[in-house]
Structure 1
Amino acid sequence: MPGYYIYTLDNDGHVQGRVNAICEDDEQAKRYAEQLVDGHVLELWQEARKIAEFKPHKLSQ
């Protein structure tokens, strides 16, 4: 199973934290990361490959 990294970004785009995730594929990793959105922008990565970015609902409207 591939390893993924979910980075929490601050308002200036700087990394504030990281969650490691073991998921079967990109889709499972996206579903997992989406559950972690809590007011901060998140980026989902696998090694050097950026997979997705998730924005809090209040920022994306």
Structure 2
Amino acid sequence: MSVYRVYVIGKGGHIDGFPHYIECTDDNEAIQRARRMVDGHSVEIWEGARIVKKLVPET
């Protein structure tokens, strides 16, 4: 299991608040769980110094 950080990105393109920590077996699980946090805001998923994916809200 790896610990991932999920950051909510605010309207100005900057991190909004503290990261959400999620423990997942792989990148795919982290992406699926982080998708639930996309509520009108983009989110970035990180594992250590590596960005896994940036998710943007559907328009």
| Same-fold status (TM-score > 0.5) | yes
Matches within 5 A, 1:29-40: 29-40=30-41
Rounded to whole Å, the distance in 1 between the matches of 2:26 and 2:52 is: 11
Matched to 1:41, the amino acid is S
Distance 1:10 1:36 in 2: 13
Runs of 4+ in 1 over 2 A off after TM superposition: none
- Using the TM superposition, give the Cα deviation of residue 13 of structure 1 relative to its aligned residue in structure 2, in angstroms: 1.2
Partner of 1:10: 10
Query: What is the aligned residue count?
Result: 58
Say which structure is richer in helix: 1
Q: 1:11: how far off?
A: 1.3
1:46 aligns with 2:47: yes
How many Å apart are 1:35 and its aligned residue?
1.4
Q: Paired residue for 2:21?
A: 20
TM-score normalized by the length of structure 2 = 0.92
SS of residue in 1 equivalent to 2:16: strand
